[in-house]
Structures are given as structure tokens and as C-alpha cells.
């Protein structure tokens, strides 16, 4: 047989790589379109990926979040460790929500399904989704160990040769306030992988492939090499940064050292505060996921995310610091700290690449989780639990303003008001940009939001608060101003704690101010037309122009 010319072989490999990307995107879309939880179907809080027999992530869906995708990249290796590939059968489905082998907290269920072609295992399809309620204290930081935070599923078979584990499903249903929604989400995850398996096999038949070994090596080696090539262009050395955040009962310091060599990038979090007693701790998998995402945004934004492109990046943290919390630490609200890590990494990179790094933003999601009595929804329960995704502003970029009410780094979309009011007895009285919340600069930060909510009944509702940037705002860069802090209070005047379960009494309203992103560059260098346009659009107040921009009588 005559060997194919190298150029034609490379083109064919690239075409197959693109087809794999389309396979995994359809996989993710299946999950989003069939999920019961609004946070998945409306906001995209999920991930999906195709893995080779060795557990290497080949492709990930664009739909999804970095925290899910990059931690799921390691989760599949754990599944293989518990269920060796030579013992897998067609129709098997594996499940876990172990925070240290999954995506960082119990609310994220990870399912992995082996794909077979002609009786031969060719790949593994994996996906993750956030389930709104899985029992315990609920989705908040009040717990003091992981077992207070909900049902804990070890590495188990959800299905064995096509037969669903009904005992496991019965336990899942009985350990949630929303049994129908939770059960539906589990089956949605299974359907997601099933669609991925079928599309993958069709793709392999089209290209006459018996296995994925060749394309797997091509993806890994080319992605790894592409990232190394980008790293070679960077200055070499070590840079340091620290960030103080609110914490639960006391402030916490996130401390990083970033080292760039010819062989890769290492981030070490030595000096970071000890773990918290409460559920804001971060397992190492989630710390690694968001650290690598921050690095990728700057170093290799055009290289697809997979095991090869993640290979040159290494992340370390001292055992039992808040960024490497060990079992059985409480971790339910790990996103509050974990999503700050790109900004921590950016603070290091800004010293090496000052013209490429944005200012700090709100960073962590402001998820509004409410609970109380209900007369609506799909569940056989008089209790509702709903998580409304809300966001602050992103930091200004070196050449552009920040984005308002936009989730970075998570990428999760905000929940539409109509959905929240349809699935839960809530009234959203106000949801609008928070005027003046963005940090001033040559490029200003993105704005936060003002949101006002009450119960639709004359009953109390519970708020499971997990918010940050309320004491320590997003910091400006290159002379830009800080963004505004966030806050939570009642319309009746009481200031609420920003973390922990609290009661919104009947007839009162909770008013949420999400944080603004910080500015980039000296505000006095901002174009006057942009300032006047911001005033006209209601983004800043005219009487703050002199204070923030040094302009009088515009």
C-alpha cells in the first residue's frame, strides 16, 4: 500500500478533528436542550467532551464552563482507575459527584459512557451538569464538612449493560427537595453521552476508522506543540501577585507565583490562606481548572482546549490551604474563590505582559439561590429551590471597555427573569444596570446590576447567600480606578451578610447590587465622546465626571 503524502494526511487529520468538535458540540446541545434545571438549560452550566481510551480529552464543547471542562478532563482518568477499560461493556454508564474526582462540589454530577464500534472500545464520552438541589443544607456555604452538603455518590455504575441502577436512582430521588427535576437531569446527562456516542461512531464510519489512536495522537501532539510555541515567545522568569478577598468570617489571601520557562508555565499558590471552616473551600481539581483557563486566555486563546494544550501548564498549592482543601472539607460554594483565580494569575502576567492583561472584574458568579414554599413547578414537593444566575461587570481590557453584567471567567449566562418567575413563586421587581458601578479608566470597567426580588406569596423565603467582592473590590490596572463593591440588603433597610442562609420575611424585598469591573488606564485619557455617551446611556452620572475623569463643564 502506497503511503499518503504527509500534506494530504495532515489535512485529513484536521478535517477529522473539526468533525470531533462538531460531535462534542451536539453532545452538549443535547444536554442543554433536555435538562430540567434552569441553570443548565437556560444558562449553560455544563460541559461535554470526547476522550480516548487512555483518558485524554480530545475535544470539548464550546458550550460549557471552564470549571466543568478542565476538571472533567481529570475525572475520566479516575473513572478508568475504578473501572478498567478492559472490563467496560456496551451500555455501561458511570457516575459520580465526588468533589475531589469530579468538578469540585456535590451539585455537579459527572457521567462517563464508553463508546464501542464493532464490539471494540474506541472512546469515552463524558459530561457534567449542575443540579440545583441534591439535599443537605442546600447550595450555600453554611456546611462545615462535605457530608452536610448533600448526597455523596462515589464512583458507581448508573447503568450496567443498558440496565439502569434503580436502587441508585431511588436514593437520588429521596435525597433532593426536587425529585422530578433531579431525576430528569440525570437522564439528560445520560442522553447527552448517548447522542455523543452515536455521532462519534457515524463519524468514524464516514472516515473508515477502526479506532481513534491516530487522530488522538495528532490532536495531543499538535496542541502541545502549539502551546509550547506560544510560551517560547513570552519573557522568562517568575512573577508574584496576591489578592485579598472577603472570605466567610474573615478575609483570605490568595497568593501566587508564576514561572515561565521554555518547557511550560507553573503556578504555585504557596502563601495562600489556610482552608475555611465553611463551604467556600476549593478542591485542587477546580483550582487547576480555573488557573489553566486564565493562562489559556492570554497565552494560547486560539489553540483548542484538550489534554495536549493543557499539558504545558502545572498548578500546585499547599495541602489544606483554601485552594487545595482535602476531604472532608466543605466545598459547596467553591466557585466563590475558584473563579477569582484568573484575576490572580493575570496579576502575575501583567508584570510580564502589561499591554495584554485586563483589569480585575467581579469574577465570581452572584448566584441567587432561594428556597421556600411553592404551588408550581414540576416536582412532587411543596418546597421550591431555584438558583438564578446573575453577574457583575468584567474588568476593562487594554483596548476596550469591560463587559457589563457578564460572567467571566465562568461564561454562564444569566437566568431570564421570566424563567425564574415561572418555576418559582418569586417576583423580580427590578433588574437593571447599576449606574456608576464600573471603575473609571481610559477604558472603563463593565457595570454590575441592581436586582430587587420578593416572594409572590405572603410567606418567608430563604436566601442561601454566597457572594464576594463586597469588602475588597475589583482593582484597576495601569492607573484605572477600582470597580464598586457589591452589597445585599433588604428594602426595609437591613444589611444582609454576603454569605450564609438568611430569611427574607413576607412583604419585604431583597436588593442585590452586583460588583462592577475595574478600569484600565488613566481616566483622564478617556475620550470625551465616550464619557458623554456613557452619561447619555445612564451608565455613569454627570456629577461624577469631574471626580473620576477630571473634566469640568463638559
Condensed to tens digits (0 to 9), the pLDDT of residues 246-260 reads 999 999 999 999 999
pLDDT at residue 553 tops 90: no
Confidence of residue 401 (pLDDT cuts 50, 70, 90): very high
pLDDT at residue 97 tops 70: yes
Residue 441 near residue 481 (C-beta atoms within 8 A): yes
**DSSP string covering 430-496:** EEEE-TT-SPPSSB-----EEEEEEESSSS-EEEEEE--SSSSPPPPBTTPPPPPPPEEEETTSPBP
The answer to whether residue 263 sits within a structural domain is: no
DSSP code for 321: B
C-alpha cell at 402: 469591560
The answer to whether residue 187 sits within a structural domain is: yes
Place of cell 464538612: 145
Q: Could you list the residue range(s) of the whole structural domain that residue 206 is in? A: 6-223
* 394 and 543 share one domain: yes
The answer to whether residue 252 sits within a structural domain is: no
Residue closest to 431 by CA, chosen among 412, 404, 463, 396: 404
What is the pLDDT at residue 294?
97
- In terms of Cβ atoms closer than 10 Å to its own Cβ (0-12, 13-18, 19+), residue 1 is exposed
The answer to whether residue 188 sits within a structural domain is: yes
State the DSSP H helix or E strand holding residue 297, giving kind and residue range, or none if neither: helix 284-299
Q: What is the pLDDT of residues 100-119, one digit of tens each?
A: 999 999 999 999 999 999 99
Compute how many other C-beta atoms are within 10 angstroms of the C-beta atom of residue 497.
14
How far, in Å, CA of 55 to CA of 57, rounded? 6
The answer to whether residue 248 sits within a structural domain is: no
C-alpha cell at 409: 471567567
- Could you tell me where the DSSP H helices lie in 93-178? 166-174
What is the pLDDT at residue 378?
64
Q: What is the pLDDT of residues 435-485, one digit of tens each?
A: 999 999 999 999 999 999 999 988 999 999 999 999 999 999 999 999 999
- 151-169 average pLDDT score: 98
- 275-289 average pLDDT score: 97
Question: Residue 256, SS3?
Answer: strand
The answer to whether residue 177 sits within a structural domain is: yes
Q: List all residues 6 or more positions away from 219 whose beta carbon is below 8 Å from its beta carbon.
A: 17, 20, 58, 59, 304, 306, 308
pLDDT at residue 333 tops 70: yes
What is the pLDDT at residue 3?
42
pLDDT at residue 290 tops 90: yes
* 218 and 367 share one domain: no
Strand-pair category, 487-490 with 461-466 = unpaired
Place of cell 493543557: 310
DSSP code for 184: H
> What is the number of alpha carbons within 13 Å of residue 396 lying toward its C-beta?
30
- In terms of Cβ atoms closer than 10 Å to its own Cβ (0-12, 13-18, 19+), residue 444 is buried
Angle between helices 6-34 and 213-232 (to 10 degrees): 100
In the listed set 223, 238, 263, which residue is the last one of a domain according to the structure?
A: 223
The answer to whether residue 271 sits within a structural domain is: no
The answer to whether residue 457 sits within a structural domain is: yes
Q: What backbone torsions phi and psi does residue 258 show, to the nearest 5 degrees? A: -115, 125
In the listed set 223, 247, 271, which residue is the last one of a domain according to the structure?
A: 223
How far, in Å, CA of 204 to CA of 460, rounded? 56
Q: List all residues 6 or more positions away from 238 whose beta carbon is below 8 Å from its beta carbon.
A: 257, 258, 259, 260
Confidence of residue 1 (pLDDT cuts 50, 70, 90): very low
What is the pLDDT at residue 457?
87
C-alpha cell at 227: 502551546
In the listed set 223, 239, 264, which residue is the last one of a domain according to the structure?
A: 223
- Count the domains in the chain: 2
- 207-232 average pLDDT score: 97
Q: What is the mean pLDDT of the chain?
A: 95
What is the pLDDT at residue 2?
37
Q: What is the pLDDT of residues 495-552, one digit of tens each?
A: 999 999 999 999 999 999 999 999 999 999 999 999 999 999 999 999 899 999 988 8
Q: What is the pLDDT of residues 335-367, one digit of tens each?
A: 999 999 999 999 999 999 999 999 999 999 999
Amino acid at each position: 500500500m502506497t503511503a499518503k503524502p504527509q500534506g494530504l494526511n495532515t489535512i485529513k487529520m484536521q478535517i477529522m478533528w473539526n468533525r470531533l468538535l462538531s460531535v462534542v458540540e451536539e453532545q452538549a446541545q443535547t444536554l442543554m436542550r433536555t435538562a430540567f434545571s434552569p441553570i443548565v438549560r437556560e444558562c449553560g452550566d455544563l460541559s461535554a467532551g470526547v476522550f480516548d481510551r487512555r483518558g485524554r480529552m480530545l475535544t470539548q464543547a464550546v458550550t460549557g464552563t471552564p470549571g466543568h471542562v478542565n476538571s472533567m478532563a481529570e475525572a475520566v482518568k479516575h473513572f478508568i482507575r475504578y473501572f478498567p477499560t478492559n472490563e467496560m461493556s456496551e451500555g455501561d454508564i458511570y457516575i459520580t459527584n465526588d468533589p475531589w474526582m469530579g468538578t469540585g462540589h456535590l451539585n455537579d454530577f459527572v457521567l462517563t459512557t464508553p463508546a464501542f464500534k464493532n464490539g471494540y472500545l474506541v472512546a469515552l464520552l463524558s459530561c457534567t451538569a449542575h443540579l440545583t438541589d441534591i439535599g443537605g443544607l442546600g447550595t450555600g456555604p453554611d456546611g462545615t464538612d462535605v457530608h452536610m452538603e448533600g448526597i455523596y455518590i462515589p464512583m458507581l455504575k448508573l447503568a450496567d449493560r443498558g440496565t439502569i441502577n434503580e436502587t441508585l436512582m431511588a436514593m437520588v430521588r429521596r435525597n433532593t427537595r426536587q425529585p422530578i427535576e433531579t431525576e430528569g437531569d440525570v437522564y439528560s446527562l445520560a442522553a447527552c453521552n448517548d447522542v455523543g456516542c452515536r455521532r462519534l461512531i457515524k463519524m468514524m464510519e464516514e472516515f473508515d476508522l477502526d479506532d481513534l489512536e491516530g487522530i488522538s495522537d495528532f490532536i495531543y501532539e499538535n496542541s502541545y506543540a502549539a502551546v509550547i510555541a506560544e510560551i517560547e515567545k513570552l519573557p522568562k522568569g517568575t512573577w508574584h501577585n496576591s489578592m485579598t478577598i472577603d472570605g466567610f468570617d474573615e478575609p483570605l489571601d490568595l497568593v501566587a507565583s508564576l514561572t515561565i520557562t521554555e518547557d511550560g508555565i507553573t503556578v504555585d499558590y504557596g502563601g495562600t490562606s489556610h482552608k475555611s471552616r465553611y463551604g467556600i473551600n476549593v478542591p485542587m481539581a477546580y483550582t487547576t481548572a480555573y488557573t489553566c483557563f486564565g493562562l489559556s486566555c492570554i497565552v494560547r486563546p486560539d489553540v483548542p482546549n484538550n489534554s495536549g494544550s493543557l499539558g504545558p501548564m502545572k498548578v500546585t498549592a499547599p495541602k489544606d490551604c483554601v485552594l487545595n482543601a482535602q476531604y472532608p472539607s466543605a466545598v459547596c460554594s467553591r466557585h466563590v474563590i475558584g473563579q477569582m483565580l484568573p484575576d490572580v494569575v493575570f496579576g502575575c502576567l501583567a508584570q510580564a505582559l502589561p499591554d495584554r492583561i485586563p483589569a480585575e472584574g467581579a469574577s465570581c458568579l452572584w448566584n441567587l439561590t432561594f428556597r421556600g414554599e411553592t404551588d408550581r413547578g414540576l416536582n412532587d414537593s411543596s418546597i421550591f429551590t431555584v438558583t438564578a444566575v446573575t453577574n457583575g461587570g468584567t474588568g476593562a481590557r487594554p483596548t476596550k471597555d469591560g463587559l457589563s453584567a457578564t460572567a467571566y471567567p465562568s461564561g454562564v449566562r444569566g437566568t431570564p427573569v421570566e424563567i425564574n418567575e415561572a418555576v418559582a413563586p418569586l417576583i423580580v421587581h427590578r433588574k437593571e444596570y447599576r449606574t456608576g458601578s464600573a471603575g473609571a479608566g481610559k477604558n472603563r470597567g463593565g457595570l454590575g446590576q441592581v436586582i430587587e426580588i420578593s416572594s409572590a406569596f405572603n410567606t418567608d423565603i430563604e436566601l442561601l447567600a454566597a457572594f464576594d467582592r463586597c469588602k475588597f473590590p475589583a482593582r484597576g490596572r495601569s492607573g484605572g480606578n477600582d470597580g464598586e463593591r457589591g452589597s445585599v440588603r433588604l428594602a426595609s433597610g437591613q444589611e444582609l451578610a454576603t454569605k450564609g442562609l438568611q430569611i427574607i420575611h413576607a412583604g419585604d424585598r431583597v436588593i442585590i447590587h452586583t460588583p462592577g469591573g475595574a478600569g484600565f488606564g488613566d481616566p483622564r485619557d478617556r475620550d470625551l465622546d465616550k464619557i458623554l455617551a456613557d452619561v447619555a446611556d445612564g451608565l455613569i452620572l454627570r456629577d461624577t465626571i469631574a471626580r473620576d475623569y477630571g473634566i469640568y463643564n463638559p
